[in-house]
Amino acid sequence: MIVRNAQQMKSIREAAQVAATVLDKMCALVTPGMNTYDLDQAGRRFIDELEAESACYKYQVGSRIYPAYTCLSVNDEVVHGIGSLDRVLREGDIISVDVCTRYNGYIGDNCRTMPVARVAPDVQRLLDVTEASMYEGIKAARLGNRVGKISHAVQRVVEKGGFSVIRDFVGHGVGRNLHEEPQIPNFGKPGNGPKLREGCVVCIEPMVNMGKYSVKMASDGWTALSADGSRSAHFEHTVIINKDGPEILSVPLGKEVPALV
């Protein structure tokens, strides 16, 4: 777990702000009739305008290279969906917009699942519960707590809501690289994992299925889907652990930091 100095923190703060600004601008474009290729390309332009770089474009895992600029996952897609001209958004869909960018040499990473126009009430509840679980996780990200405290807080909210937490993908430390130590599972016991330290920066990102938590891989080699075809939601913030508590860094410039109540 890397602890940052003041200069690094300033850079990290700006990097997270850039990722949040791009996410906001992309979310504002989500509307029925739009396809996810165009939305990804809009993301590419927003990233360009801010003189940042996509941290997922050409991201490599083994021999696989990620081909898009952002991750766009619709309905039963959990994470790492690839924008496509054939994927046209319709009213009632949900879409996870996941933006990770590099700026100042640091990565900012954030995600939000949006309703496309109006969605069914149980689907809206999936979004609300997933977002609430992220905030509970963030609140648990305090000095001296173990990582498991975050995991446990997220899991509690999700399961109380009647949904299930995905096991195959986890949150992570972030910095010069997208995925750093520690891993932050969204399930587990409060006493598990390393202790959180002052100045460490983490991405807290619950992924939640309406049905069972198993996932399967699409034939594109990237897109993860819920195995049972149920809807899936994903919220993520980049957070720094200060002496007096967690601080959300992935907030667009000029926007208010969400209150942790």
Say how far apart CA 109 and CA 99 lie, in whole Å: 6
**DSSP letters spanning 53-79:** EESSTT-EETTEE--SSSEEEETTEEE
Which does residue 4 bind out of Co ion, ligand MF3, none, counting CB within 5 to 8 angstroms by kind? none
Which does residue 127 bind out of ligand MF3, Co ion, none, counting CB within 5 to 8 angstroms by kind? none
Residues of this chain, 41-70, that bind Co ion according to CB under 5 A: none
Farthest-apart Cα atoms in the chain, separation: 48
**DSSP letters spanning 80-104:** -----TT-B--TT-EEEEEEEEEET
User: Near Co ion by CB under 5 A, which window of 12-20, 32-40, 102-110, 116-124?
Assistant: 102-110
Which residue do the tokens 């990722």 mark? 19
> Which token pair is 165?
């937490």
Which does residue 59 bind out of Co ion, ligand MF3, none, counting CB within 5 to 8 angstroms by kind? ligand MF3
Q: Is 69 in the site for ligand MF3 (CB under 6 A)?
A: no
Which does residue 56 bind out of Co ion, ligand MF3, none, counting CB within 5 to 8 angstroms by kind? ligand MF3
- HSE-up of 145 (CA within 13 Å, CB side)? 24
Which residue do the tokens 């399961």 mark? 159
- When the beta carbons of 46 and 66 are compared against ligand MF3, the nearer one is 66
Contact track, Co ion, 182-221, x by CB under 5 A? ---------------------x------------------
Q: Is 134 in the site for ligand MF3 (CB under 6 A)?
A: no
| Smallest separation (angstroms) from ligand MF3 to the CB of 56 | 3
